[in-house]
Every structure is written in C-alpha cells, then in structure tokens.
Structure 1
C-alpha cells in the first residue's frame, strides 16, 4: 500500500485539487464546539489542518495561540498567504509530520486528520495526542462512524473508538446531530480529556 503519510502524496492531492473531503467552510460540529469555548488564550493545535477553515474561524473569534501542522508544503505555503495577518503572531504554521511534533497544548482539534491516516497508525495517533496534551488537556472533534472501501478516508466505529481512546480519563463519544447533510448519521463527536496533574 502507498504510504499515506508521505508528504508527496498529500502535496500532489492539494496541487491537483483532488480534495473531495473539503467542504469549503468550517465543519458545523466543530464550529459549534468552538462557539462554546471561552478561554481565547489556550494553546490549540490543529493537526492535518487542510485548508484551515476551522483555524481561520478560531482566529476570527479572537483566539491568540493556535498552531497548525500539515505534511503538504503546497498547503502550508497557501495557508501562510491566506492567514498572513495572524501568522507569526496568534498563529504558528508548521510543515511536518504530526508524529514527530513536540509541544504542549490545552486543546487539540480533530477534523478529517484521523480518517486520513492508515488504520495501522491509530495507536500511534492516540499516544502522540496524549503526549502533546497538557495534564487536563482535551482532544475534541469529529470521527466517521462508517466504513469506506479502500481509503483514504478510512472509517471506524464507536466500539473501536471506545477501546482505542481508553487511555483518556474522561470520554464522551456521541453521534453528531449537526453534521452537514451529506455526512448526517455518519459522524461522531469526541470529547476526550487527559488526566489532570
């Protein structure tokens, strides 16, 4: 199987605009989650940020400490231009592999990153998320509750996620009631919290 973590694979997808997952705006479940966040100074990471709609929404809402990381240099270059007014101040844009990233975050937002990874990397995903979160830090976002032939995207199920995310002290994994029409009934919203102190 082709290495789905290969920067060239993803860079080619963006250069050739083969981005069928791109909905052109922030995901409704994540947008509504962001609307309820009150601490605009918390350290937030968005891995595999894509075209950064949720990132731009965070910045427009006044969040001051947002970091994004993506493998595709075509994409991060585009984001540097698109989000220039925040870049280097409220926003840090990184080109690189999430699994090699080091940092310390209060909140990590998940939106179509998990489903882009080969399923063999899921335990690594959980371990890396756990490492990057501060004590009491949270991982929140959207996962698919369905299967896809081939992939990416790669699907999954509630039962799998319950087991996979067992290291987290607090877990809420519930069906999204506010998905976009084409994804209605196929998405779960996760709220996971690392043990405090």
Structure 2
C-alpha cells in the first residue's frame, strides 16, 4: 500500500471510529509506529485530529472553533461560519470544505457527491457531532431563522426530530431525502422556485 493510500485509510477510519491507537494502526497496516506517527502528523496539520495518550482522536468542534476565530466563510454563500451550525464535507482527496449550515452543506454535498468521503454536522438540540448519513433533517420549521432559508436542522434521534416537528412544524427527511430535496434548487441563489410544488417550502407544513 502506498503512503497516500494508507493515510486516506487512516483518515476514513478516524472519521468513523473517532479515536485511534498508534499501536493498533501499526499492526493493521504492517508498518512501524514511527511511520504511523508521520502519517498522523499530516492529520494533525489538517486540523481534524488531536493527540491523545498513545493515539489520536477526531476534533471537528475544535477545528471549527479555530476556523471561526479566523473568520471562516461558507463554501457556498460566504456567510461567516457558526461552529454550532456548521456542515463539514470531507473529500476523498483529504480536502475539507465547510458550509455555514445544513442548508448550504446539503446543496454543496449534492453538487460534489461523488467526491465526498464523509460529512459531519451538529445535532441541533444535543450539540454533538455525527455523520450526516445517520442524521434526520427537519426542513422549513417555524423556528426563527438561524442561518439560510429554508432552514434545515439536524437531529441524531429520529424520534426527537418527530417531536420537534409536532411543536415547530416542518418536514422530517432522511439524509438521502434531504439531498434529493435540493436537486431542483438554484444552487447559486438558493432560489427554490424551480422545485416541484410538493418540495417547495410553502408546502412543507401541509
């Protein structure tokens, strides 16, 4: 296995498992721990990992907070990114793109879907971070707008999302449904007028 291939495997493993041991990686890939340390240094430089005793762990919130201090802008609409709403795309080449919220994140995700290795988003109520594939999304709720319209909020627990819609209305969508929701949208202006009427935000609460 080539070094860049091993690094990509380690990156994907970190995104899934959140915490990795140097010794375990050394055995898994059949290389020395020193070699793994060199690989890990690249992940530390990218800002997606931080050192722990004998290993590394994923640090999406720390990364977002650091970028926020530097005035990070949304990859799509160029708004300043709020770490609590951020949607992070991890591409197969190791590049990380950040959107200001799930609205812009899902649009961008759809645009470059084949290039995406994983994506992370914050749970609206629990303030934890998880893979978008495990999230349930609520579109067009009556909650005051926190970022882009139509507002899209992420929930790790589908039952909590369901209860949220009972109080604040909106439409509950799986990750794949949320991606599909934007397939007819004008990605540059976020204008949803070209979407079928059943997907238009004015019809979400019907």
Q: TM-score, normalised by structure 1?
A: 0.26
Instruction: Give the structure with the higher percent helix.
Output: 2
Larger RCO (alpha carbons 8 Å, 6+ apart): 1
Q: TM-score, normalised by structure 2?
A: 0.25
Q: Which has the larger radius of gyration?
A: 2
